[in-house]
């Protein structure tokens, strides 16, 4: 192990936006001291999930779309932990869409980092719930007939209390937002625009560099009406980055008096030998 790196090298494609996002998380982890003693990472299924293999913090890779309920359980068991959920747009908005909206509604004190590449990349480029209408993909050769979800808009409308968007190529800014999201008490959703260099030829690094802008000081992220209007914009020269919505509201965990005395479960994270378990399935 070398700092926050492991000996395992990333297997993402050259130019993949996941590389920038991973670098941003490592930078934030080093700055904030996130490690095995205080943090847990959870992922779903997709290219994003590989991040767990390259990051030496205790982690759990859930079933497709099921990262959030696992993370909610971890947080209830030990609410002293920083719990980060890495998920893709297919994983989070498709298979896991129900979990996302209800986690936002209940305001769990969690940080969702959405690797938004606009399609299913691990399965080689099918339409996801974030694929624009009309887009030609492997699964929609005549063009996508459906309207997409805009994750920021969906998260705000569902009740998330810290919602932001950034582009994976701006590593410092993504890293800062990860820290802010974790410091926020409540459900944080970061929509990270993450180019898939192999399968998405529309949402490229160049596209995001040309069509995103950072919200200025005149923007009020506490105005929900403004935030909903701003988050509904997504197109050429129209993609706002930064904290789009923030509010203070009681978290899901705060409603349980059993948690007032401290975490229900506190145990040191230690390596386990799973070879005998694994051998039963080989
Ligand atoms: Fe990244 Fe796309 Fe390659 Fe997956 S397929 S590793 S998202 S570039």
255 burial (CB, 10 Å; 0-12 / 13-18 / 19+) is exposed
Counting from 1 in the atom list of ligand 1, the atom nearest the Cα of 117 is: 7
Q: How far is the CA of 30 from the centre of ligand 1 (A)?
A: 25
Per-residue model confidence as pLDDT tens digits over 191-228: 999 999 999 999 999 999 999 999 999 999 999 999 99
Query: pLDDT band at 2, cuts 50/70/90?
Result: very low
Smallest CA separation from ligand 1 atom 5, residue: 121
Counting from 1 in the atom list of ligand 1, the atom nearest the Cα of 15 is: 8
Q: How far is the CA of 124 from the centre of ligand 1 (A)?
A: 8
Is the distance from the beta carbon of residue 51 to the nearest atom of ligand 1 less than 6 Å? no
Per-residue model confidence as pLDDT tens digits over 84-130: 999 999 999 999 999 999 999 999 999 999 999 999 999 999 999 99
What is the average pLDDT across 138-166?
A: 97
- Global pTM? 0.94
189 burial (CB, 10 Å; 0-12 / 13-18 / 19+) is buried
H-type alpha helices, 56-129: 67-77, 89-90, 97-106
């Amino acid at each position: 192990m070398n700092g926050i790196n492991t000996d395992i090298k990333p297997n993402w494609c050259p130019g993949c936006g996941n590389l920038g996002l991973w670098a941003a998380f490592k930078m934030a982890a080093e700055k904030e001291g996130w490690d095995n003693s205080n943090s847990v990472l959870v992922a779903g299924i997709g290219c994003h999930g590989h991040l767990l293999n390259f990051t030496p913090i205790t982690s759990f890779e859930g079933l497709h779309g099921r990262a959030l309920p696992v993370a909610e359980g971890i947080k209830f068991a030990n609410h002293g932990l920083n719990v980060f959920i890495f998920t893709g747009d297919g994983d989070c908005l498709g298979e896991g869409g129900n979990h996302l909206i209800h986690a936002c509604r209940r305001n769990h004190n969690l940080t969702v980092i959405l690797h938004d590449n606009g399609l299913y990349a691990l399965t080689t480029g099918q339409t996801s719930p974030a694929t624009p209408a009309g887009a030609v993909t492997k699964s929609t050769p005549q063009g996508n007939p459906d309207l997409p979800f805009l994750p920021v808009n969906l998260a705000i409308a569902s009740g998330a209390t810290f919602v932001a968007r950034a582009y994976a190529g701006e590593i410092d800014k993504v890293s800062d937002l990860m820290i802010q999201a974790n410091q926020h008490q409540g459900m944080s959703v970061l929509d990270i625009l993450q180019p898939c260099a192999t399968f998405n030829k529309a949402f490229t690094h160049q596209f995001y560099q040309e069509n995103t802008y950072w919200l200025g000081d005149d923007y009020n992220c506490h105005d929900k009406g403004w935030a909903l209007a701003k988050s509904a914009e997504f197109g050429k020269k129209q993609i706002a980055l930064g904290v789009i919505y923030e509010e203070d509201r009681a978290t899901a965990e705060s409603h349980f008096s059993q948690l007032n005395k401290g975490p229900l479960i506190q145990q040191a994270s230690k390596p386990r030998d799973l070879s005998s378990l694994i051998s039963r399935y080989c």
